[in-house]
A and B are shown apart, each in its own frame.
Chain A
């Protein structure tokens, strides 16, 4: 099995881990968004609460959720190792002048953007996920069955001005992270072909704009009561 260790300790193999975990997290974002959009229904949060109950109790979802946490940590951990290697690769003395004309900003700042996102994930988990699982969350009854009222908790936070601002700022960070990350993942996996490149670029850029924008729209809509 030495070849497997060699593969995943090489810079190319470690980048594959980044690409695969990144693509999984992209899928996760899409599913998460689909769930969140139910908050926009004017049904007192019922659809969202039923959905949240399902997501926090279904055994299959629980397994995927554990995988998701693992992939987030793996994505962050591998990137940290690569970033340290990349810093050292420049050598002791850096450049005095860097023009920055030859690459886009987001591609050069994935580490900073990723750190912002990681901090956001921690805050996000503390305020919602942890409350759902261990917090003293209020419950509601639908058709004689008890549900935890997550939509009420969301509504509370999404009426706090600074929280909405922070949320939107982090969505912008995710947008920039995706702007480079989505397309970059395909390149890393070797999926670069003139027939499919336009599609990958279009979907990647559209995803990077539309998904964070819709995520950010939810707190804005709730804050301004639209």
Chain B
């Protein structure tokens, strides 16, 4: 296969970026998209040019590191991660445009690498359960209906790649945050901190500068883990009920 690549090149966070076009004549249809990029980078290194920087890690679709916006869609035309996308998806002679995720909250660090630590800060704000010390409880002590367990698991399948933000016309992080809220809200273990969690995570999400949700459902359509927008509705419910009913216990001096 022969393809033409239009790739966003940007030296550093503050540098002005631009598209550069590369002719790639040695592409096998069996290559993954990242392998194709590896071959291109090897050629660039041999020519003494700066290779194209991009995020990747496990290359088996579970880590959430790869993050390319290919031909107008995050992770390319298939509902999968970029590492699981193969060149057979493209036509011989096709021009492929590769861009980084675009969001105020995800600044470009270099080329196709963006800083997604905003997601980490949202997670740190409330995406956890506090486990107190004591004996290890038996796993089956708390009854959880299979359907609820499955739903929580589906939400927990989110790998935090940020494709939802990239796909959303508002660069909204609602699908990610709602998946993280849901995986705990559905399970009894998450109930203790349920209200505090959603309040803090939404507050952090807003302060990171993500957009609001207009229910276009583009996130759901592009999510490599098929996280449902039903989670967004759940987060809306969780948030409103928390905001109108939560209370903070003030620790006094025993007066």
Q: Which residues of A contact B (CB under 8 A)?
A: 3, 6-7, 10-16, 82, 85-86, 88-91, 93-104, 107-108, 110, 180, 183-184, 187-192
Give the Cβ gap from B130 to chain A, nearest Cβ, in Å. 23
Interface of B toward A, CB cutoff 8 Å:
6, 17, 19, 69, 71-73, 77, 97, 99, 102-108, 167, 169-172, 202-203, 205-206, 209-218, 221-222, 229-230, 232-240, 243-244
Give the docked Cα–Cα distance between A99 and B211 (Å): 20
Q: Closest approach, in angstroms, between the C-beta of B47 and any C-beta of chain A? A: 25
Flag if B206 contacts A10 (CB, 8 Å): yes
B226 to chain A, nearest CB (A): 13
**A13-B243, A15-B212, A93-B17 known; A86-B233 Cβ under 8 A:** no
The reply to whether B236 and A189 contact each other, CB–CB distance below 8 Å, is yes
**Assembled-state Cα–Cα distance A144/B99 (Å):** 74
A102 touches B167 (CB 8 A): yes
Contact yes or no, B243 A108, CB < 8 A:
no
Listed from nearest, the 5 A-B pairs whose CB atoms lie closest are A192-B233, A190-B237, A89-B211, A99-B72, A86-B170
Other-chain residue from B99, B203, B211, B215 in contact with A90 (beta carbon distance below 8 A):
B211
Chain A nearest Cβ from B203, distance in angstroms: 7
Q: Which of A82, A88, A90, A107 has the most CB of B within 10 A?
A: A90
- Cross-chain contact B229 with A187 (CB below 8 angstroms): yes
B236 proximity list for chain A (CB < 8 A)? 12, 15-16, 187-190
B170 contact set on A, CB distance < 8 A: 86, 89-90
> CB-nearest residue of chain B relative to A90?
B171
A183 to B99, CA, bound (A): 32
Contacts A10-B202, A11-B205, A90-B102 known; 18 new A-B pairs at CB < 8 A = A6-B203, A6-B243, A10-B206, A12-B202, A12-B212, A12-B213, A12-B235, A16-B240, A88-B209, A88-B211, A89-B103, A89-B170, A90-B104, A93-B108, A99-B71, A102-B167, A107-B217, A189-B236
- Taken together as a complex, chains A and B put the C-alpha atoms of A90 and B167 apart, in Å, by 11
